[in-house]
Structure 1
Amino acid sequence: MSETVPGLERGLKILTEFSAREPVLGAPELTKRLGFSRSTVFRLLQTLESLKFVERVDKDRNFSLGPAVLQLGYGFLASMDIACIGQPVIDSLRDATGLACHVVIRDGRDIVVVARAPSHLPHFRSVKINVGTRLPAHAATHGFALMADLTFDELRALYPERNLRRFTSLTPGTVEELYDRVLEDARRGYSIGESSFESGISVVSAPIRDAKGKFVAVATATLPASKVDMVLLEGGLVRKVKEAADVLSRRLSQGAQVASKDLERAELQ
């Protein structure tokens, strides 16, 4: 039998009571609907408010969903957009390179695979990275590219500890080492990682930007080797990965422009 966390379950039930038809609810109404005690509802609302999942309205008597919920929603929609838009592009990248290719986003201190195109070549099928796979951002080459628009202070806030966990001898061991690597990759516009997270796995990554120029994802090509094959590099591997990332950046930007125009039309109606 699976175990649940009652407090978390109750908090989520409160959030799901809010809707487009009822965007504002008070503690008495929530108590009546959910069958919780008034003190429990009050404590849950206070906790959700402190985390900005709800906020007070109507002179503090009622609540509505807060910005944290919107951020979760936007993050989910953005990752879904990138996954949907990215799939045919990385399929083409896989066909052009023969390598396993992915679209990866950053979620805090992790990177998350949101789209994959496995290699058709038998000797590359050992690369087992699935949609939903999480890796530590500081140890994975994809993470270096995804953190390239962070300042040192922002990076330090993300990693306040003195030493970072090393997975191989090539993993950055401090925030200073990580920042140097991030800057290096930002300057050249792509990343090449050779066994920084897992020995025998190398990748080439290039950043994908949204309509505002922010790094939101990377396109990657992965191969089961300690070093990136010079034949692949000379054959234009970096160029092909960067071109795929550029195509995705343009499509994300075009999608944002279409969404903005749709919103303008809706507001005029």
Structure 2
Amino acid sequence: MNEPTDPRPDPGAAMPDNHEGYIVPGLERGLRVLETVAAAERGLTVSEIAARIGVGRSSAFRLIYTLRFLKFLESSADGRSYGLGPRVLNLGFAYLNGQSLIQVAQGALQALRDATGISAHLVIRDGRDVLFLDCVPSRRGFLTTFNTGARLPAHVTPLGWLLLSDLSGRELAGLYRGVALPPRTEQTPTDLPALQRCVAEAAARGHVVSRGMVDAGGGTVAAPVLDRDGRVVAAIDVSGPDSAFPEDVEGITVPEVLKAARAISERLGHFGSPG
């Protein structure tokens, strides 16, 4: 008997004919509970979880009970709401720490931080989000607002544009078809054509210098990380307040970021310019 192929194909690809037969409904609902609770900025009640995942209150209660028993959820002090428990957090950190990319990139990120004095970050794309795998904070007191495990919508950040550049035009359109693109700043692309232009420009240039694109008063310089086949598998940046960057960003900071991206790419087997 042949093993089933991955039941979650890339965005824009057709589902296998027997997709519904492979799905385990209870597992799917339980994972949706965890995603819903993780996305909330506060604890959620049983009724709120039920409404957000589209099930009845009794079904939500059983899911929550099971996840609490397994320590994937924990209740608030008053027992009325629920947040992530230690077991799911341990899994998350185990996933991040187990990624070889983090070990591969760490030395280059530290060297980049030391050369620029600005916090350096490593990110990957997870669907329509960027996920921060590592952060090497500045030693000069310039605090970073993005730590390991943080997420941002890919469309709001140059890191995301670089990661999205690995998709074909059809894949990019499929990923964002019918999806709202809420702005983070006045420079955020808020529709698919605008996003496509940002992605194309980032790919053509091979790096992005931004001022106030992600946060007002902040700057970033980002570059892609390539694997042995030339695919964009990650991106790095230095980000901080405008005052952390020299006046000649293109002549001073950009070469350092490209150097770090090239060093990481070479350790992944790519021997060419990341741009």
What TM-score do the two structures reach when normalised by structure 2?
A: 0.61
Instruction: Decide whether the 8 Å contact of 2:162 with 2:202 is kept in 1.
Output: yes
Deviations 1:195-224 (A, max 9, x none): 223222211111100111100001211121
Counterparts of residues 223-238 of structure 1 (less than 5 Å): 223-225=240-242, 229-234=246-251, 236-238=252-254
d(CA) in 1 for partners of 2:29, 2:151: 28
Instruction: Decide whether the 8 Å contact of 2:173 with 2:192 is kept in 1.
Output: yes
d(CA) in 2 for partners of 1:226, 1:183: 29
Relative to 1, partners in 2 of residues 1:226 and 1:77: Cα closer, same or farther, differing over 3 Å?
A: closer
Q: Radius of gyration: which is bigger?
A: 1
Deviations 1:108-167 (A, max 9, x none): 100011111100002x12x22111110000001100111112222211111112642111
d(CA) in 2 for partners of 1:200, 1:103: 21
Aligned residues: 183
Instruction: Decide whether the 8 Å contact of 1:79 with 1:105 is kept in 2.
Output: no
Q: Which moved more, 1:225-234 or 1:240-249?
A: 225-234
Letter of the structure 1 residue corresponding to residue 269 of structure 2 = S
Instruction: Decide whether the 8 Å contact of 2:133 with 2:149 is kept in 1.
Output: yes
**Map of 1:40 onto structure 2:** none
Establish whether residue 221 from structure 1 lines up as the match of residue 238 from structure 2.
yes
**Map of 2:204 onto structure 1:** 187
Cα root mean square deviation, aligned: 2.6
Unaligned runs of 5+ in 2: 1-24, 32-94, 271-275
**Map of 2:119 onto structure 1:** 100
Unaligned runs of 5+ in 1: 1-5, 13-75, 255-269
Instruction: Decide whether the 8 Å contact of 1:194 with 1:228 is kept in 2.
Output: no
Which of 105, 129, 144 is the matching residue for 2:146?
Answer: 129
Q: Percent identity?
A: 37
Establish whether residue 157 from structure 1 lines up as the match of residue 174 from structure 2.
yes
Letter of the structure 2 residue corresponding to residue 105 of structure 1 = I
Establish whether residue 239 from structure 1 lines up as the match of residue 258 from structure 2.
no
What TM-score do the two structures reach when normalised by structure 1?
A: 0.62
Which of 216, 229, 249 is the matching residue for 1:212?
Answer: 229
Instruction: Decide whether the 8 Å contact of 1:103 with 1:219 is kept in 2.
Output: yes
**Map of 1:178 onto structure 2:** 195
Instruction: Decide whether the 8 Å contact of 1:100 with 1:118 is kept in 2.
Output: yes
Counterparts of residues 56-95 of structure 1 (less than 5 Å): 80-95=99-114
Letter of the structure 2 residue corresponding to residue 248 of structure 1 = I
Instruction: Decide whether the 8 Å contact of 1:147 with 1:182 is kept in 2.
Output: yes
